[in-house]
Amino acid sequence: MSAEHSIRTLLSASPLAPNEARILLSHVLDKHYQLSRSALLSKDDLVLDPRALSDWKTLESKRLAGEPVAYLIGKKGFHAIELTVAPGVLIPRPETELLVDIALDAIKTIAEPIHVLDLGTGSGAIALAIAHSANHVALTATDQSLEALKIAQQNACNLQLDTRVHFKQGSWYQALEANDLFDVIVSNPPYIAKGDMHLVQGDLRFEPQSALTDDLDGLSCLKAIIFGATAHLKPKGLIAVEHGFDQREAVMAIMAEAGFRDIQNHADLAGHPRVSTARK
């Protein structure tokens, strides 16, 4: 086999961004040789066999065509946990970790038992990250997509959190009983407006559009979640929703209209307004 198929040569010759090439090639090494990512350095003279090389070329081509790295390797790290992801769910993003941190801070001030609701859970990222970091909290997570719930339940089993996070199928609060009450409600709903140019760029082209846009002005799901929360939050309970960087004023106004108090906005690590919170 030719040295041109060695790890070192394949990485240096790849047109992919170096970090992406390393992630994808590491995935191939793990799959075919049970080698960790450190092998990219310690065994960089390893020549890939034909099956491994074919896998690498396929992954490289798909990424060059724009397919997200997370879908290609089937996993994504998020807030100290690793999640299985597939095209049926939104890829968890670093800015959404702010929503988890806000929920965890709120939980510290609440007497047990504590109940948290995650609306539109997708891969289960938010609910499972909270459960992983706060083992005394009971969580309910809803999604209208059975495909998404299947992936979320798989993640819960993989993380051994399946006894503490309960998944229910339905759109927003429709999955709940009328008397279900929670201390904290969190959600990262579709908030991109119909026709937004970002929907046809980058990774978003490959992600489920129903998890990205409401096909309206980007605020309809946020309104449904905020107004619906009044019936399912305990007194003084917290609601926290992620939204677009340019939606801060609109979301905070919706919260005020719904009768919430202590309305605040929180910026992500890039300094963009990202999460709005309020109390009942």
Is the pLDDT score of 210 beyond 70?
yes
Give the lowest-confidence range in 3-7, 213-217, 223-227, 234-238.
Answer: 3-7
User: How big is the chain by its Cα radius of gyration, in Å?
Assistant: 21
Percent of the chain residues topping a pLDDT of 90: 91
| 188 within domain boundaries | yes
What whole-number distance in Å separates Cα of residue 127 and Cα of residue 196?
28
What's the total number of domains in the chain?
A: 2
CA–CA separation, 76 vs 166, rounded Å?
22
**pLDDT-derived band of residue 190, with 50, 70 and 90 as boundaries?**
very high
Report pLDDT for 41.
79
**Per-residue pLDDT at 2:** 58
Angstrom distance (rounded) from CA 55 to CA 27 = 10
Q: Are residues 138 and 38 in the same domain?
A: no
93 lies in the same domain as 60: no
- Identify the CATH number of the domain in which residue 266 sits: 3.40.50.150
- 162, 245: one domain: yes
pLDDT over 80 (residue 100): yes
Residue 61 and residue 91 share a domain: no
152 and 199 within one domain: yes
The answer to whether residue 237 scores a pLDDT higher than 70 is: yes
pTM: 0.93
Q: 121 and 24, same structural domain?
A: no
User: Closest Cα to residue 191, out of 166, 226, 165?
Assistant: 226
What residues make up the domain containing 112?
87-279
Task: Say yes or no to pLDDT of 250 above 70.
Answer: yes
Residue 56's pLDDT band (cuts 50, 70, 90):
very high
Q: Residue 1 pLDDT more than 60? A: no
Residue 273 sits in the same domain as residue 148: yes
Q: Could you read off the pLDDT of 3-26 as tens digits, one per residue?
A: 678 999 999 999 999 999 999 999
